[in-house]
Chains A and B, each alone.
Chain A
Amino acid sequence: MNAPSPALVAPRPERLRLVGQRRQLLALMHQRLMFGMLVYAGIVVIIALRILYLAAFGDHAGRKEELTAFIPERGDVVDRDGVPLARTIDAWTISVHPNKVIGDKLALAQRLAQLMPEQTAEQYFAMLRSGKPFFFLRRRASPELVEAVNAIGEPGLAIEREPDRLYPQTTLAAHVLGFTDIDGKGAAGVERAFDPYLSSPQTRAQPLVLSISSKVQQALEAELGAAMQHFSAIGAAGVVMDVHTGEVLAMTSLPNFNPNAAGQGTPDQMFNRATLGVFELGSTFKPFTLAMAMDSGVVSGPAQIMNCPEVLPAYGHLVHDTHPFGRQCSIAEVMMESSNIGMAQIADRLGTARQKAWLKKMGFLDRVEIELKEKGRPLTPGSRWGPFETMTIGFGQGIAVAPLQLAMGYATLFDGGVYHPPTILKIGPDHPLPPGRRVFTADTSYRMRSLLRLVVMKGTGKKADAPGYRIGGKTGTAQKIINGRYSQSINLTSFAGVFPMDDPRYVIVVMLDEPKATPETYGFTTAGWNVAPVVSRTVSRIAPMLGILPDMSREPNMAEVLPYVQEAKKTQDSSKD
């Protein structure tokens, strides 16, 4: 190893070796340089291409997104004529950042107390010294106030704009519209039911068109409110509905609230009596029983004569009439005088099973089919539904439904017997009329017209008549259950009417909760005295708006019922239910 090995081949000179290495190094460096250059060139080309592309097709720096149309923060809600019922506007919000206040805090607190007296100067001062970072002073402030606060010139006061939900018509249709919470999410009514539609950027540009007609709504609310005040009722509800489409033109529940300040409403005001509340609506149910019986063949028609005693003993109970016939009477008279005894017998002939099947078919055993979420479940006898319960349901006791449901039933009965689910959206290209479901025969529907017109012409609902508008309908006075017993003095009165009766187009249902007697009602608290006049006044206001012209010469075919009414008996006005 130590001995140098004989060099068989002349060793490569050192210099040459170095040269070869250098050449290799150079080549490598060249490669690397070339690669780096290519990379740079590529980047430059990409940038250049990108610039060219942007120059050709791109947007310039000042371009704003989605500027071609005004899209509100939350969709508008309008009535069927386009009148805005709910809108989102930019409202001023005044807030304070106590840490950023640089002026005299005591003077600032005094000035704020002058401008916004809802809190005292001491409270404002405590707020400013609290060390907390942020307080809202006023949301939805008026421009004058904003100007005054701005004039203080304190940098710690912040004035901002934030979207705020405004209901221009204030209390109008408050229960239908509902309201939004502080974050702008729907909390009740349409705002809640259509929250995804109203808040989605894709759909909120188009307003949500309701079937409500604000003029009809206003008329109904005004008349019902006046009656509620006059009769000192604790509540009221009203529905106006299109017979042929199921569109709800007006729906109100009183007392109502102001959705602009929903937080100030009491639970009683917030309660929607028209859809969420269920009530025993009394005799307004009788037309259904009669229609079921006529359709089932149990009753031949208005001409059929039946026994109407003073008192009817049935299944261990006694059925009374407020004005008993005590003689033979026709079906037309039973209807006209709202005889419980007559109707109980008809229901008894119908039987429990058939009655249940009919009520199911009409949708009275389920929650009402409407888009709103506030829907009450009807109350029925359930497992106790025996023959006597069938009788009481026949004249409207023992079953509790929402007023909207009652309107739906009348719409079904007078739309030729075809059921259309009630809807709060306007029927149109965006919301086509769903196919109906036949419940009653067209013949029964037709024959009920003259019967209900008879009630208003000669029976208990005389005060509901509006000359020329051919109102037909049925009064209902239900005794309220107080402490588990039917009260003899506290009532819930209702009227379900249809107009014009010769060609039914609209249903109106009004209800007064616990109306009190007044001198002009002669001490009566029955529906014919307090709620029927509301119908008369409301219909004479809304019918011309709805395109129904008064006509004294038109009536449904009264020849079908008038021959079967005993004229000698003097009707006791509308003192009965």
Chain B
Amino acid sequence: MSSRSFRSVFMVASCAGAALSCYLVSLRVASERAALEDVEAKIVVAQGDMRVLQTEIGTRGRLSQLERWNAGAFALSAPAADQILKGSFELAQLARPDHRVDFQAPVVLASAPAPEPQKELAAPETESSSPQAAASPRALFHEASLKTETREDLARTSAVLPPATFRTIDKPANAAKPAKEKSMAKPGLAAAQTTKKPAQNLRTAAIEKAKKAAEARVPAKASEASKLKPKKSVDKPIIAMTKPVTKPVRIAKVDPLAPLPAKHFGNSRGSATER
């Protein structure tokens, strides 16, 4: 009975509930839409602001202003016809002169650490097994003889000065370092040579003897040089310089390029030959 009598009430309540839920949905949609429109409005405002800023930048950086700076302050001008390249090939061609400059540079360097090469005589011998070793020393020999005296003298002074006076930090210090390092490395190199020698049958006995003799000289010279250096820096640098020039030119330049690779690649090359 009660259920039947309250039926209408339930009906009304359920209808009201359904209507309310529908209304809530539409309200939710409306609020979402309003939020979206707010975002759109913000976007439009932001677009306006961007326009203003772009306009300001464009006005401050207008072409006539840039031209004034370019022509007046920086003295820039349009590129000439020969400054414009057609492609990567021409660009690569431009790079060639740089290589030439690089090619000349090592000559100067080679003459700089003149005393060192003598010490390193031991190292080149180890490498002499490789065919390239014969070619490289020749080239170096020629270059060095062309440019010897004046440059080497300068290099000497630079190399000589540092140990005595540590005040000059730049070149002398750099030049002095390699000499020390190499002298330190000698024993190791000598060991490597001894190990390799038996494996390599190509060498002649005469060469080996010569090298051993050279090794023997090198330490002596190095010690002499180390003794001489302080004297030179203190006393008469010019006389000291003349002496070393005569010594290194011939022998030293043969070696310096060869030994360095020997340290790094000696093992790998040895293995390659063994295979």
Contacts and interface: CB of A to CB of B under 8 A. Distances in A.
B67 to A, nearest CB: 5
Interface string B51-72: 1101100110011100100010
Given A89-B52, A541-B78, A170 B64 contact: yes
A568 interface: no
B55 A171 contact: no
A383 to B, nearest CB: 47
A68 B47 CA distance: 11
B37 A63 contact: yes
A69 B44 contact: yes
Interface of B: 26, 30, 33-34, 37, 40-41, 44, 47-48, 51-52, 54-55, 58-59, 62-64, 67, 71, 78-82, 84, 86
Contact of B41 (A64, A89, A217, A468): A64
Contacts of B54: 84
A64 B48 contact: no
A466 B80 CA distance: 9
Interface in A284-304: none
B55 A169 contact: no
Contacts of B33: 60
Interface string A201-220: 00000000000001101110
A469 B64 CA distance: 25
A169 B64 CA distance: 7
Nearest to B33: A60
A295 B26 CA distance: 79
A62 B33 CA distance: 11
Nearest to A260: B59
A466 B34 CA distance: 64
A168 B59 contact: yes
Contacts of B58: 83-84, 168-169
Contacts of A172: 62-64
Contact of A467 (B30, B55, B81): B81
Contacts of B86: 549, 551
A70 B37 contact: no
Contacts of B44: 67-70
A485 B82 CA distance: 47
A215 B30 contact: no
A222 interface: yes
A60 B34 contact: yes
Interface in A243-268: none
A544 interface: yes
Given A87-B51, A467-B81, A218 B59 contact: no
Query: Across chains A and B, which 6 residue pairs bring their CB atoms closest together, nearest first?
Result: A468-B81, A550-B81, A218-B63, A70-B47, A541-B78, A168-B58
Nearest to A83: B58
Interface in A45-80: 55-56, 60, 62-64, 67-70, 72
A339 interface: no
Contact of B51 (A89, A169, A537): A89
Contacts of A345: none
A64 B63 contact: no
B214 to A, nearest CB: 57
Contacts of B41: 64, 67
B37 A469 contact: no
Contacts of B51: 70, 72, 87, 89
B84 to A, nearest CB: 6
A552 interface: yes
Nearest to A85: B58
B37 A67 contact: yes
Given A60-B34, A70-B51, A221-B64, 12 more contacts: A63-B37, A64-B41, A68-B44, A69-B47, A83-B58, A84-B54, A166-B55, A168-B58, A467-B80, A467-B81, A537-B78, A540-B78
A550 B90 CA distance: 13
B37 A168 contact: no
10 contacts: A68-B40, A69-B44, A87-B55, A168-B55, A172-B62, A172-B63, A222-B64, A469-B81, A549-B84, A549-B86
B79 A215 contact: no
A72 B81 CA distance: 44
Contacts of A467: 80-82
A214 to B, nearest CB: 6
A544 B86 CA distance: 11
Contact of B81 (A70, A84, A166, A466): A466
Contact of A60 (B30, B59, B78): B30
B163 to A, nearest CB: 57
A245 B51 CA distance: 32
Nearest to A539: B78
A344 B71 CA distance: 45
Contacts of B52: 89-90
A537 B81 CA distance: 11
Interface string A469-500: 10000000000000000000000000000000
A222 B67 contact: yes
Contacts of A171: 64
A170 B62 contact: yes
A550 B63 contact: no
B133 to A, nearest CB: 47
Q: In the complex, which of the residues B37, B47, B48 has the most CB atoms of chain A within 10 Å of its own CB atom?
A: B37
B63 to A, nearest CB: 4
A148 B52 CA distance: 21
Given A64-B37, A69-B44, A87-B55, A544 B84 contact: yes
Given A63-B37, A70-B48, A87-B55, A214 B63 contact: yes
B62 A168 contact: yes
Given A84-B55, A87-B55, A169 B37 contact: no
A64 B42 CA distance: 12
Contacts of A549: 84, 86
